[in-house]
Homo-oligomer: A and B are copies of this chain.
Amino acid sequence: MTNVLAKMKIRKMLAEDIGFGDITTETVVPPEAVVTAEIVAKQHGILAGVVEAALAFEEVGVLIKAMESDGKPIKPGDVVMKLEGPARSILVAERTALNLLMRMSGVATSTSEMLEKARRVKPDIILAATRKVMPLLSYFDKRAVRLGGGDTHRFRLDDCVLIKDNHVKLAGGVAEAIRRARSASFSKKVEIEVRKPGDAPKAAEAGADILMFDNMTPAEIKRAVRLLIERGLRERVLLEASGELDLANVAKYAATGVDILSSSYMTFRAPAMDMSLEIRVGKGFKPKR
């Protein structure tokens, strides 16, 4: 089931990249050349964005002969997609399709790597994205996180309450902020940032659904978890550790006893995955002069 918004965005990506036309392809490649092509992985990782790349090619009339499944592990040399169609159409959509594929696979791969490290410590831990995503591309970033095994977390400012430090300041305290926030809608969860262990019980008692330990050390987080357990509040809340998590420290945070780790590493710091598109020109092919 293709997302309607994604389809519209991919059409716009193509329009923006093509502009007045692919002046190279239109002058160099004969219109009648029909070819096959393959997109080939050049690194290990988790594949993401095949559905999106397919939409880009279909938009310009290229046939998708075969495609790997999004979410699948791949290795260098794996053929990710097989295409057939006018050479001009394949070339005009190539960059847009690859940019999506490479970005999304990079995000999925780093999600998967980070998750693996965390789950060695705590097998059922959740790794979530943040709202630190590429503007206009948040759908694709969140989808890639999910394909890598992660949780999307909030999509926008309207689908979950997340009370941050600045909000607390302006509301005059944790309890009051939560009280107000609960009027948002019964259908939304209320999450609140906690910056010192002592605030955790307060927030849980005030009715927060999720506590986010933000920029706290693993030791501080452990203390906060202990406080919650001692006061019988642990079961009432989900606990999330956030901050500067990356591949190096994720295991330590996973060991703190929280339910969820969240990080912008996957969408803001991890590299894209390399892939390439190769046109297969059969033996009989004779470029027309």
Q: A residues within 8 Å of B by Cβ?
A: 1-5, 8-9, 11-31, 33, 35, 59-61, 86-89, 91-92, 95-96, 98-100, 102-103, 106, 126, 128, 131-139, 142-143, 151-164, 166-167, 169-173, 176-177, 180-181, 183-189, 191, 210, 238, 240, 244, 259-260, 264, 268-269, 271-272, 274, 277-279, 281, 286-289
Separation of A287 and B174 alpha carbons in the complex (Å): 12
Q: Which residues on the B side are within 8 Å of A88 (C-beta)?
A: 1
Q: Which residues on the B side are within 8 Å of A289 (C-beta)?
A: 172, 176
Cβ B138 vs Cβ A16 within 8 A:
yes
Whether A269 touches B268, Cβ cut-off 8 Å, given contacts A27-B180, A188-B159, is: no
Q: Using CB atoms, name the residue of chain B closest to A278.
A: B166
Most buried by B among A126, A158, A162, A177: A158
Separation of A238 and B185 alpha carbons in the complex (Å): 12
Which listed residue, B13, B153, B286, touches A136 by the CB 8 Å rule?
Answer: B13
Measured CB to CB, the closest approach of chain B to A142, in angstroms, equals 6
Whether A86 touches B24, Cβ cut-off 8 Å, given contacts A158-B155, A186-B128, A187-B160, is: no
Separation of A87 and B164 alpha carbons in the complex (Å): 13
Q: Which residues on the B side are within 8 Å of A176 (C-beta)?
A: 287, 289
Separation of A100 and B106 alpha carbons in the complex (Å): 20
Most buried by B among A2, A12, A100, A160: A160
Q: Using CB atoms, name the residue of chain B closest to A259.
A: B186
Separation of A62 and B81 alpha carbons in the complex (Å): 25
Whether A184 touches B18, Cβ cut-off 8 Å, given contacts A35-B170, A159-B159, is: no
Which listed residue, B29, B30, B187, B288, touches A159 by the CB 8 Å rule?
Answer: B187
Cβ B19 vs Cβ A135 within 8 A:
no
Whether A3 touches B21, Cβ cut-off 8 Å, given contacts A268-B272, A279-B170, is: yes
